[in-house]
Structure 1
């Protein structure tokens, strides 16, 4: 099978997965934290921090930097790197399709889950091998996706802490430095609280799928053409199924532009 037919078949395959499972329960809250999928062992010698460093060894030709304290909105340095970052996860089917897309294509991605959505626990078996291999990195997006700037300090801390604990219980991820505030709404206070809870790097973006609303396939691909470029952090969402129909076109665009996908942990990781 030639490359174009392979990409189109891949796109059709992951889209079919999403459609076949149906739309029942989209956006329903996950089960209580204690009822989430069984947690994998926490890491080498029971040390989650050691596991993070063991898994996120980077990619050839990329020299990782220490995760910065503060806000980032672009990849550092030079080169042809592209970071695809996916938020939320209201759809079980779309999260599953993204996981299969990553597994089938080798695309490196960073997910920012909200643990309240059952999509993450239900797809944990698909995602864990990708997380454990370092092909997929995870960051904290809060438990229930509120505007943190409207909450008190205690509520902000609980949103971040509960989701941090969910990521650890479900995927074995304990010390990801990355935090993305819902709606991009943050201030010095929310950044400080996130840092105090183990997430010193507040991750914004300089490119977008523009899929905060329902798009046509043509609109989504047009957004990718607008924003896919070197050193871009692209934000997307695992909420609407349109993206599952254009994976082949996205891969072709990445190849045409000579880009390499990386996780945020590939470029920002503590190697000490």
Structure 2
């Protein structure tokens, strides 16, 4: 029995959510007898289990397989400028717990790291099935080293080896990724982009970002910076952006830009019916 074939079938079941033996044979091109042997081995190892049957208008309904939800639990932590969110899910993405706490970045880098350590430590203490940690931040990230290169509008957060620090502290596999890209991945796995191979996911919040999927894969670009929509220059002589360039889209259309424009207008005596 080929190990790659075993992993391939396991991946196919995970990607589809549920799959029948017949469907797996059709998808992989393997003989039904070989699929049955591979599935039997996956079940023996406690990786997949049977659950439910596929709908059928005629004939016998197919038994469906899915990855065991408690194969491992995962922690996701989204570190935002205002709030930090900590979620624990099972292996299939079902939310087990969700918590939101103020980030309080004005108190400095050490405070934020203490917050991360405290919340991750509490989550791990309450769940001994956790096998990995994912961190999302709205910044410029070196995906290979897991380093936060730059956090817009947050002074002092440059070249922070965040992935290595958390990995060393807790001894678990850690992934660091841009927030918008993590949202796009979740949308493809669970949301409106499910089953779509090509799409662009755009977020307009306090900043502006995008994630691009091409042929079912996240498109990163030559420097891993594809999707930095907010820092696209629209006016070369425009206002100074936090990234150091002038006239970025984010300077004019982000949440920060709208708030600053409202403040400026009010200071100049513009009347607002909302205030």
TM range (shorter): under 0.3
Higher strand content, 1 or 2: 2
Bigger-Rg structure (1/2): 2
Tell me the TM-score normalised to structure 2 length: 0.28
Higher helix content, 1 or 2: 1
Tell me the TM-score normalised to structure 1 length: 0.28
